[in-house]
Structure 1
């Protein structure tokens, strides 16, 4: 009798272990599915946000060249008013975390630092690069930020670059050389000002792909962006005083400014940084190649800018670098 009871208990224990194992496997599958869905959502966010960013570059070039808008005026308008949009969205969707962040001095300090090192830096570098060259070239130079992300990943993982990553670096260097010189080492295809701002643009892209991630995971997209954009917008306004530099805009010019704030900043930054959070910085930079593609298409179509064969080859090599190293 005791042996029978013991056998029964053992069978039940085995059944229980089997059930727990199956439940654990199902749970892992569920988590995996959710993780995949999150990555796919992040990839979609990066694609749409990158396309909006690339298209805005062309609108910004039009404002700078045709209306004589100063880059800092446009940057401050984008920073301040998009910050208000992000905060309004946070108040509607994530009010609890917005209140917590507003009362957390340590968190506000960290957001302030990242807002200067990533948000404001990327805005200034990009628009001045657009002003010195064109939106297509500036956006492709920005893609070189992938090299900074690669360096960060290699240092964090304590490893050297893999073969395909090393090949990507060589392609990036050749592509940059073609963009800068047009294939002729004795001349500069790009002005020195464009080279400097394009290089800073790449550095800013690296910072934007890495620095905000942890803060966004803690406070959410709208809360982080709202506070960060408002910080940088107010600080820039105090230094630059945009009310003393009002451009002579007509109705179409103001429409472009509004599009720059809502689509080129609120939508572009919100979706791109959400994509960084969900899909990770490497996938985000890879899919962010939609930016130079969109910028190139809109530059040629809207601004009637001609691109040489060496420009297109340089663009292709830099985009190939992103694919290889991501």
Structure 2
């Protein structure tokens, strides 16, 4: 496709563009999870350093991108003490928890299973919303609770109630990553409405990565870098953080948050496929049923009022 044809497509087919961009964003997120699994299981990295590198460099790139059109906003948010405080809260309790727990879950499990468990996040958001608004779940929400519990049970036990089929640490970190998604979603709502999602995400990644580096106690990068390691890190930072985020935001703008959220459910499918093909992760028929239960949960919650 020539550059002129691409520009014509970009401007004249917003719905198709939104579907394609959201789909690509979800696939890239899934691929980046598999790259994390490669670094953790093959190259001996730990989840802390992957998270630090991803957040700091990803944050810098996103902020540099923002500076092209929103230079003044980048300065003003730093001068607003109230918003800066909430930005720090989001970076630590939202992004750091979400990113670190996800990578740790991958370490104990695999990219596909960890990503599916993280997709329990909308369930926790729904429960939080019900408690906050003092209401009972709707019929769809009750069904999604059942499917989420069933899907998690199948993944954890393979249907055998007497024994866990996966690492208990992996299950715990996977559920914590879902809680991280809840905090990651709820904490920045007012900030993003005021300053825009790109600026908030850029600063949140940068501040969170610096915070994790300072508390980790690991001051010197302890791993050797070869060509494959560099490619995996670049895929996580550039494709799985920066480009996927921008593609998803454009998709939301073109087709709306509901459709974009549904299409982005390709992420766990993408992670599972890449993990199986590239790293020989094994998934049983019961695993697939568990995946479908949890993904169906997300669809029901997206459609629920």
Give the TM-score band, short-chain normalised: 0.7 to 0.9
1:174 aligns with 2:150: yes
Q: Deviations over 1:279-316 (max 9, x none)?
A: 45x66654432111111111111112221111111111
Residue 251 of structure 1 deviates from its aligned partner by: 1.2
1:252 aligns with 2:203: no
TM-score by structure 2 length?
A: 0.86
Structure 2: runs of 5 or more not aligned: 1-12
Partners of 2:92 and 2:218 in 1: CA distance: 18
1:164 aligns with 2:140: yes
1:123 aligns with 2:99: yes
Cα 1:39–1:101 shift into 2, 3 Å: farther
Residue 85 of structure 1 deviates from its aligned partner by: 0.6
Equivalent residue for 1:237? 213
Q: 1:31-180 counterparts in 2 under 5 A?
A: 46-155=22-131, 158-180=134-156
Residue 322 of structure 1 deviates from its aligned partner by: 1.5
Equivalent residue for 1:201? 177
Q: Cα RMSD over matched residues? A: 2.5
Q: Deviations over 1:152-185 (max 9, x none)?
A: 3434554322222211211111111010001111
Residue 121 of structure 1 deviates from its aligned partner by: 0.9
Cα 1:211–1:71 shift into 2, 3 Å: same
Cα 1:80–1:139 shift into 2, 3 Å: same
Equivalent residue for 1:29? none
TM-score by structure 1 length?
A: 0.81
Residue 277 of structure 1 deviates from its aligned partner by: 8.6
Paired residues in the alignment total 289
Residue 95 of structure 1 deviates from its aligned partner by: 0.9
Partners of 2:218 and 2:95 in 1: CA distance: 18
Partners of 2:75 and 2:287 in 1: CA distance: 49
Cα 1:146–1:275 shift into 2, 3 Å: farther
Match 2:189 to one of 213, 224, 227: 213
Equivalent residue for 1:307? 283
Structure 1: runs of 5 or more not aligned: 1-36
